[in-house]
């Protein structure tokens, strides 16, 4: 048959008949995890390393959510290993009736083996683990793991080498404890680094303590003899207070509600602040941060808008002739946390960044509508301030719309819609195009002369752009430099943002390597994070790394150094004649001629680019608030805390 011939053709290459079933490879046990770790933990860099902690801690949190655990201790040991201890029921150690191995060995050596896949008595009703593969994946990616279970007055222990048990589970003595202790040494054959970051771990544990109220979670650093303990009776209400700690709040007491509907638990807390003009709405499903939102966030936003409009008209703040407040208006300055816990969560994709359970939208909407209306009626002063802030946002939105219309009308009347200072590239396929956002006309001139005109565009900015952390959309769109930037990128802004219209798939911030340059870069990063966030999450934003030094002999450049350490090592490596070497410190890109700028910073074959990534949105929000917000005291404390770690400070 023709179909059969098409399926077995070798396209003229010899050996086609040698491809038989014997050539197929079957990976058994945990071998698939070690062969393709990225499929299970996303990456093998420091983020993947910390993902291991999350998987083991999540198992303890599952015990806590089931009501069997209220103490969790995470320890960073002096030898670089990690351990997690809880006082839950302890992983079962009896022999599984089908697999014929201990429950402990089953959980730690078998993919998709655990208490998260059925309705049997004792199985988890709510779980946030990695589809039940978490503990076994950690075992597979560790050069050594030790597990101890404390049950029935006994201690049970098993050790593993790269996922393979050294011996069967054994009793090692009596114990009056209850729970599970797991310690692991991440495998340096798998990970780029096995050095854990204290701050990253602390931030995640604090978040889990907020989301799992009345559970004590401790972090111990053996090497530094430090212990932090988190315990929050208020749950996410305490989390909202924490997020707004450095901001001026509009309603002193956050609104809070917790309710169970058809087996789903809905917990919501919200508070308004007027320090920044952006919303901070965080959605969680089974303790997983759903960064892309989903049904629970949709239901929240719908109820928030309708309830505030309903109250505003009922209280006479909005007249009959006044238009309704929009969703953007009522979310101006809003800080909110929505946490839902579901027996059967439906996440979109393995990364679990969006919740898909459609019934949750109506449940969250109903819970918030009732609770928020009651809150507003019981707190009329706070309610009036919230509505007035939303009305102020509405006026700013209308002014911004008028500014946008003027910009669009002006563009239609002019022959060219792109900013005059933009030196565009000739390539029209965005995936091959990049734009350098350059500080000043002098550096812009060098960049324009040194660039590859086919696919590199240059947009010089004049001075420091507006600090958008302190400005609403109307002021933002009145700023000439920001308007030029938005126009050049092509995506639009606010409600009109369209990622598909992005004209360059690499947006490169290229500023001077001094204090002013760092400030300008921070202002630009603030703008992108607050108003063009999809470009950050999409991996389109980069930082150029111009050299700090040029090592010269006469007029000839011997090499470039990008740090003090690199400069010193290069000088030491020079064969004789070190006294005749001149070291030039670049204070600005404008000092570099076009050839040098191309060779060091713009040439794709030799340059160094840093891609801007955000692994913790909550922490990013907090840092931008502290550094760029209107409150001086938090920024002062931040500078005092981190001043000793600053190197190469230009004064």
List the catalytic residues. 439, 512, 514, 516
The strand pairing partners of 76, in sequence order, are 82, 221
Residues 543 and 189: their CA atoms lie apart, in Å, by 30
Q: Is 293 left (phi over 0), alpha (psi -120 to 50) or beta?
A: left
Compute the Cα dihedral for 134, 92, 144, 221 and give only its sign: positive
At residue 218, the 3 state secondary structure works out as strand
Give the CA distances from residue 612 to residues 525, 534, 543, in Å, rounded to whole numbers and listed in that order: 9, 12, 7
Residues 118 and 136: their CA atoms lie apart, in Å, by 18
Residue 124 CB contacts under 8 Å (≥ 6 apart), including other chains: 62, 65, 66, 115, 116
Residue 120 CB contacts under 8 Å (≥ 6 apart), including other chains: none
Tell me which residue of 286, 287, 270 sits closest to 209, measured CA to CA: 287
HEC readout, 355-416:
ECCHHHHHHHHHHHHHHHHHHHHHCHHHHHHHHHHHHHHHHHHHHHHHHHHHHHHHHHHCCC
Residues 197 and 464: their CA atoms lie apart, in Å, by 33
Q: Where are the beta strands (DSSP E) in 205-263?
A: 216-221, 226-230, 255-261
At 582, phi and psi to the nearest 5?
-95, 135
Q: Is 423 left (phi over 0), alpha (psi -120 to 50) or beta?
A: beta
Cβ-based burial of 176 (10 A; exposed 0-12, middle 13-18, buried ≥19)? exposed
- Do residues 253 and 241 make contact, with C-beta atoms less than 8 angstroms apart? no
Residue 32 CB contacts under 8 Å (≥ 6 apart), including other chains: 39, 111
Pairing relationship of beta strands 216-221 and 71-76 according to DSSP bridges = parallel
């Amino acid at each position: 048959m023709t179909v059969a011939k098409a399926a077995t053709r070798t396209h003229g290459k010899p050996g086609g008949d040698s491809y038989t079933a014997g050539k197929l490879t079957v990976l058994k046990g945990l071998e698939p995890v070690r062969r393709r770790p990225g499929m299970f933990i996303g990456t093998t860099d420091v983020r993947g390393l910390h993902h291991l902690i999350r998987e083991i801690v999540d198992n303890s949190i599952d015990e806590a959510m089931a009501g069997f655990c209220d103490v969790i201790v995470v320890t960073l040991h002096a030898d670089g290993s990690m351990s997690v201890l809880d006082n839950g029921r302890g992983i079962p150690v009896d022999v599984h009736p089908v697999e014929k191995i201990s429950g402990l060995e089953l959980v730690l050596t078998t993919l998709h083996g655990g208490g998260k896949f059925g309705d049997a008595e004792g199985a988890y009703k709510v779980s946030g683990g990695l589809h039940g593969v978490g503990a076994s994946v950690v075992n597979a990616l560790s050069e050594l793991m030790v597990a101890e279970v404390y049950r029935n007055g006994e201690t049970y222990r098993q050790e593993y080498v790269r996922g393979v048990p050294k011996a069967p589970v054994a009793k090692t003595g009596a114990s009056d404890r209850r729970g599970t202790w797991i310690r692991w040494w991440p495998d340096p054959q798998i990970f780029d680094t096995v050095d854990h970051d204290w701050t990253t771990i602390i931030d995640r544990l604090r978040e889990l303590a907020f989301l799992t109220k009345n559970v004590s979670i401790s972090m111990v650093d053996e090497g530094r003899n430090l212990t932090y303990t988190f315990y929050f009776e208020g749950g996410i209400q305490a989390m909202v207070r924490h997020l707004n700690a450095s901001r001026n709040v509009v309603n002193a007491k956050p609104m809070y509600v917790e309710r169970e509907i058809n087996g789903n638990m809905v917990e919501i807390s919200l508070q308004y602040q007027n320090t920044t003009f952006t919303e901070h709405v965080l959605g969680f499903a089974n303790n997983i941060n759903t960064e892309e939102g989903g049904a629970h966030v949709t239901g929240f936003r719908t109820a928030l808008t309708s309830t505030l409009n309903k109250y505003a008209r009922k209280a006479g703040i909005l007249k009959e002739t006044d238009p309704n407040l929009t969703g953007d208006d009522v979310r101006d300055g809003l800080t909110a946390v929505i946490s839902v816990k579901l027996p059967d969560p439906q996440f979109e994709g393995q990364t679990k960044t969006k919740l898909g359970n459609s019934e949750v939208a109506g449940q969250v909407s109903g819970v918030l509508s009732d609770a928020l209306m009651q809150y507003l009626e019981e707190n009329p002063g706070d309610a009036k301030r919230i509505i007035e802030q939303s009305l102020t946002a509405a006026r700013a939105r209308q002014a911004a719309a008028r500014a946008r219309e003027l910009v669009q009308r002006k563009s239609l009347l002019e022959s060219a819609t792109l900013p005059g200072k933009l030196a565009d590239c000739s390539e029209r396929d965005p995936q091959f195009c990049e734009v350098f956002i350059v500080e000043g006309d002098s550096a812009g001139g060098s960049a324009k002369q040194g660039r590859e005109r086919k696919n590199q565009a240059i947009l010089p900015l004049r001075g420091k752009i507006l600090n958008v952390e302190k400005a609403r959309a109307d002021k933002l769109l009145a700023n000439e430099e920001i308007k030029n930037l938005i126009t050049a990128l092509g995506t639009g802004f606010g409600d009109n943002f369209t990622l598909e219209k992005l004209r360059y798939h690499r947006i490169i911030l290229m500023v001077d390597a001094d204090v002013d340059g760092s400030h300008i870069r921070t202002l630009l990063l603030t703008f992108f994070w607050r108003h063009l966030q999809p470009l950050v999450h999409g991996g389109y934003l980069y930082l150029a790394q111009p050299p700090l030094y040029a090592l010269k002999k006469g007029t000839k450049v011997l090499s470039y150094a990008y740090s003090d350490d690199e400069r010193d090592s290069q000088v030491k490596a020079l064969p004789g004649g070190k006294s005749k070497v001149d070291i030039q410190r670049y204070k600005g890109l404008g000092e570099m001629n076009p050839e040098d700028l191309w060779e060091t910073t713009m040439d794709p074959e030799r340059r160094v680019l840093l891609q801007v990534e955000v692994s913790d949105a909550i922490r990013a929000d907090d840092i931008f608030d502290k550094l760029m917000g209107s409150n001086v005291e938090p920024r002062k404390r931040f500078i005092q805390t981190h001043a000793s770690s600053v190197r190469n400070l230009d004064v």
